[in-house]
Every structure is written in C-alpha cells, then in structure tokens.
Structure 1
Amino acid sequence: PDFEKMDSSLSNKVIFDGRNLYDLQKMIDLGYYYNSIGRKLID
C-alpha cells in the first residue's frame, strides 16, 4: 500500500500486522504505531 497517501485519510497512524508483511524500519520512518506478531513493538 501507499502509506504516504494513506496518511491523509487516517486519524491515527496505527498498523496491526498479523502477517508480518511490512518493513519495521519503513514503519518507523513513516511515523506509524506498528504492531506485528513475533517482532518488537515500535511506537
């Protein structure tokens, strides 16, 4: 997905990734609260 484009339509930048599809560093760089199964929690 185009996370930069989604930013304008989200009231909170929160992603729950149950399949570990997205890159942790990209989520950090984009400023998302990101939770994925089996990986470290970032906020």
Structure 2
Amino acid sequence: MSIFDELQASLQEAVKIKQGNNEANRITRHAVPDVKAIRDKQ
C-alpha cells in the first residue's frame, strides 16, 4: 500500500467518523494550560 493509499483510507475513515457512521478507536484530549498563571509566575 502506497502512502497515498494510506492517506486516502485514513481520510475516508475520518469522514465516516464525522458523519457518525463509525466510532473513533481512540480520542486524545489535551489540557489547555493556564497562560495567565504561567505569565504571573515570571
């Protein structure tokens, strides 16, 4: 499978997930840092 085929398959899966036809295998969440607190420390 070429890189193009892998990207195309990945995008098709993303579209299906967005449309609600598939469930995501994993969900990654990142905490948003408190920028004001970080600046106040300096």
Please state which band the TM-score falls in when normalised by the shorter chain: under 0.3
Q: With a CA cutoff of 8 Å and minimum separation of 6, indicate the structure with the bigger relative contact order.
A: 1
Structure 1 or 2, whichever has the larger Rg, is 2
TM-score normalised by L of structure 2:
0.23
Give the number of the structure whose residues are more often strand, by fraction: 1
